[in-house]
Amino acid sequence: MRYVTVASCGSCLPSHVLSNHDLERFLETTHEWIHSRTGINERRIAGANEDNLHLSLEASRDALRGSSLRGEDIDLTIVATTTCDRMVPALACSVQRELGTRGPAFDINAACSGFTYAVVVALHLMRGGIASRALVVGTETLTRIIDWTDRSTCVLFGDGAGAVILEPCDRGEGILSYSLGAWGEGDKLIFAEGGGARMMASLSGNLDGREESMATYLPFLSHAWNDRYPYLQMDGREVYKFAVRKLCETVEDLCRQAAVNLGEVRLIVPHQANYRIIQAAAQRLGIPLECFHLNLDRFANTSAASIPIALEEAVRWGKISPGDLVILVGFGAGLTWGGILIRWTGCK
């Protein structure tokens, strides 16, 4: 069996900062209301020239610099995202074109669990001999699929990208255990209709009265979402209960598989969804909140990008050393969950 580790991390965050106080200027809310319910103070907003490809490339180049590798040294590229710039082709193919990576390139959509899903897929492709080194990216521009008049959702999200490079390591190091799952019955608890093939955009241009004839032969035209709500929608109460439970169960499962005690784990890097979720999970697990690396106060919820962004920051801040046990754990729409336990081998 081939053992796999995180060799390098990178991240990219848009330069524009949108604070809670900025939101007060156009939204019926207050900084105190947002912070007390979420722990969020501000978030990053992608500019006109900062799409997911741009964010992914910058995060990937950051990771490559830390590993002293070049694009051609990578033979597997996986991008986790729910907000791909285009429906076709996969964002990973565009990343491959720009960086010069080789081998398979594809996207994964498991929402906020996407990064952990992507790492586990890469792990098995490497174990199967399909690839020797992998680039795994989590990237989102969630602020482009939310309704900025809906304070129940728009205050929660931000944009950004994180990346890791995976490479082989010695036995007993690197990824020691993983846990993935989904509860499809919860697929209506977090969703966004816009951009999907079930709801096409409104017809544009001069149709010269052809609409009725076209609709006769093209019945899907009746599903144009010009009169539908295309933005992200969420049942916050139900998602909260699911997230707390699954975060705890996944952490315990990872430790059980690897035959380690939770007290041996140096750091947990969770999906950065909500301060209250992490706080409740820490209490249920019986561990200090300090065991979690949190940055959602500055970056909010960046979905598939949140774990790799937080991991890069934790490494850069010196919170992880070689030999430490580190858990990455996410949960999100689907409803999905995923976790990875790593014996850290060193990283930039």
Query: Which secondary-structure segment (H or E) carries 239?
Result: helix 236-258
C-alpha 76/C-alpha 116 separation (Å) is 16
| Residue 190, SS3 per DSSP | strand
Query: What is the arrangement of strands in the sheet containing 105-108, beginning at the earlier edge strand?
Result: 3-12, 159-169, 134-141, 77-80, 105-108
Active-site hit among 12, 112, 154, 248: 112
**DSSP letter (8 states) at residue 317:** T
Residue entry with tokens 């990346």: 163
112 is known as an active-site residue: yes
Q: How many CB atoms lie within 10 A of CB 240?
A: 15
| Residue 77, SS3 per DSSP | strand
- Cross-strand partners of 157: 301
Active-site hit among 20, 52, 274, 301: 301
49 is known as an active-site residue: no
What's phi and psi for 315, nearest 5 deg?
-65, -45
- Cross-strand partners of 134: 166
Active-site hit among 271, 274, 293, 347: 271
Contact 138, 305 (CB under 8 A): yes
271 is known as an active-site residue: yes
Active site residues: 112, 271, 301
